[in-house]
Amino acid sequence: MAARLGISRAAVWKQIRSLRKRGYKIESSTKKGYRLAGNYDILDADMIRSCLKTQWLGKDLRCFSEVTSTNEVARTIARECRSDAINRIANCGARIVKGTANCGAVDETANDGTVILAEIQTQGRGRLSRSWASPPGGIWMSLILRPQISLDRAYRINMAISVAICKALADLYGLAAGIKWPNDLLIEEKKICGILMEVSAEVDRLEYVVVGIGINANVDVSGYPAEWRSTSLGQELGRGVSRTELIQKILLEIEKSYRHMDSKEIWEEWRSRSVTLGRQVRISSVSGDLLGRAVDLAEDGALMIQSRDGLHRVLAGDCIHLRALEAA
């Protein structure tokens, strides 16, 4: 390797040591060299970017071994960008008063498309601040997006991303994932993925959106509580998957869907992939519980519930699919 790379053997050893610190298992043998032994499916930003086919999403991609939550890291990055912009404007204002300088335009797209990944989350969260298990082997990822849309269109982002992940799982593995309103992906009634979208807005204008995506890729879900009704890609396929390949595919599909998120086609596909429509459900929200049949999904993401006292339009809440006995 030293001869082929044109470096010293000491330099090779230095790089091997660096790879081992990043999680690669590399065996060594005197006079024979080195061999990649296993555990090569680690999150490596350079490796993910090397074959990433997106135009802008994930070009700034940051991998961490452990974080509290990727959404928290993403929010910090997005806020710091905003603070820097405000400081630049303030400093510029001071210079203008003194008549020494003018201020350039603030880049409102800074950090747009940044992706945060972590091997482990110690405080992963789902909806309603529920704890989200984030052991090694999963894909724990957050996106920073700065769409130029009004706040009432924000749900379109959730639609586009849900559709994109379903497409990625179908294309790579032939798995038919369904969308459980409002933000879960299921395979045969078992949860494979959760999406958590958090927004920062001024009046009715979105400043930035952080979208957290948690996928049970190569996770051992046997230790999860039965009531979670979880599965993993490894369990469904009977083998491990390349997280690098899956991340690359998901980001590509998200970029495609995101570009057309306001189209009727995205809403129709999101609706067609629903596993909530036609089901008896219980919706829990701050206003109480609502039981009924899910009869439609509106273009703004609202779930239409037919209950005993009429038709209800639900924009947010915790949705539970009821079995026949529970529904009765």
Which stretch of DSSP H or E encloses residue 172?
helix 155-173
Which residues in the chain are classed under CATH 3.30.930.10?
45-272
Bridge partners for 196 per DSSP: 212
Burial, 10: exposed, middle or buried (Cβ in 10 Å; 0-12, 13-18, 19+)? Answer: exposed
Instruction: Return d(Cα 205, Cα 292) in angstroms, integer.
Output: 34
The string of DSSP codes covering 79-136 is HHHHHHHHHHHHHHHHHHHHTS---PPP-TTTTTT-EEEEEEESS-B-GGG-B----T
Is the CATH number of domain 45-272 3.40.50.300?
no
- For domain 280-327, give its CATH number from 2.60.40.1930, 3.40.718.10, 2.30.30.100, 2.40.110.10: 2.30.30.100
Q: What are phi and psi of 179, to 5 degrees?
A: -100, 120
**pLDDT per residue as tens digits for the range 208-221:** 999 999 999 999 89
Residue pair 164/273 in contact (Cβ under 8 Å)? The answer is: no
- Eight-class DSSP state of 323: P
Q: What is the pLDDT of residue 127?
A: 61
pLDDT band (50, 70, 90) for residue 124:
confident
Q: Quick one: pLDDT band at residue 191, thresholds 50, 70, 90?
A: very high
Are the C-beta atoms of residues 115 and 57 closer than 8 Å to each other?
A: yes
pLDDT value at position 64? Answer: 94
Kind plus residue range of the DSSP H or E element containing 194: strand 190-202
Phi and psi, residue 297, nearest 5°: -125, 120
Q: Does residue 51 contact residue 248 with C-beta atoms inside 8 Å?
A: yes
Q: pLDDT category, 9, cuts 50, 70, 90?
A: confident
Residues spanned by CATH 2.30.30.100 within the chain?
280-327
- CB 210 within 8 Å of CB 198: yes
- CA–CA separation, 277 vs 294, rounded Å? 5
Measure Cα distances from 2 to 35, 57, 123 in Å: 15, 36, 43
